[in-house]
Amino acid sequence: MKLIVLGSGTGVPSLERNAPGYYLQVLDRECLVDCGSGTLLQLERMGRSCQHIDAVFITHTHPDHIGDLIPLIHALKVIPGFRREKVLSLFGPPGFKQFFDNYIATVASLPKHFGVEIQEVDRVFEYAGVHCQCVPTVHSESLHSVAYRFEVGGRTVVLSGDCDYDEGIIQHSSQADLLVLDCSFINAHKYPGHCSAGECGRIAAKAGVKRLLLTHLYPVHGAEDSRLGEARAEYGGDVRLAEDLMEIEV
């Protein structure tokens, strides 16, 4: 598997960190996990194209995670000289189908030449030979959110989306080769619905993951070194801060 960080930031506009979005290549499929504003441009910067995206996995429907979903569907219809015929698969938490019908399809009219298949995920499912799991995360009282786990060829990647510390995300991340985890703030600025840096380290340690990537980083001045230090105080493994356009082989 190959992971490219397309956006390591949040809903706060930043010249350094794009809104949340990740490219995941697994077997012969090219996928996005979340699709915040600017995701399509980040794909272009990496020499890749939205034309080849097979599936999008949405963790939740807050604006910073779905901002480029309408532009993606629209682009696939209007790229000159390109006629897409393969299905675009969209996965999301409970309530995603209604959200798509109410807010996405009303703006980006459904394409005529290819299908858009929507699946609300529940625990365990298969996608194109990839074993996938999801787990509810503690984030918002107004909507459902999930973390995803992808397993293939003895390798495992977990992407948390936005989440707070709880036993569910620990169990979901167990023995993962790579855990990409919401690290919105340092310990002193802990905010409900998001993990602090120390909590990220604690989750990684309890889950026994091999690598920890801290992401969803709010632009707090001087927090970068503190984030790493606080996570490393709890977790002795390989921990890094996500950077936009960072590539990781798993």
pLDDT at 220: 86
Give the pLDDT confidence score for residue 225 in this predicted structure.
Answer: 84
What is the mean predicted confidence (pLDDT) over 95-105? 96
- With vertex at residue 146, the alpha carbon angle to CA 215 and CA 104, rounded to the nearest 5 degrees, is 95
pLDDT at 224 over 90: no
Q: Which amino acid is at 143?
A: L
Longest C-alpha distance within the chain, in Å?
Answer: 54
> Is the model's pLDDT at 222 over the cut of 80?
no
Is the pLDDT reported for residue 122 higher than 90? Answer: no
Share of the chain above pLDDT 90, in %: 96
pLDDT in tens, 192-216: 999 999 999 999 999 999 999 999 9
Q: What mean pLDDT, rounded, does the chain reach? A: 97
Q: Domains along the chain? A: 2-249 (3.60.15.10)
Q: Which pLDDT band holds residue 184 (cuts at 50, 70, 90)?
A: very high
Q: Tell me the backbone φ, ψ of residue 149, rounded to 5 degrees.
A: -130, 125
| Residue whose token pair is 């409900």 | 192
Instruction: Check pLDDT > 80 for residue 88.
Output: yes
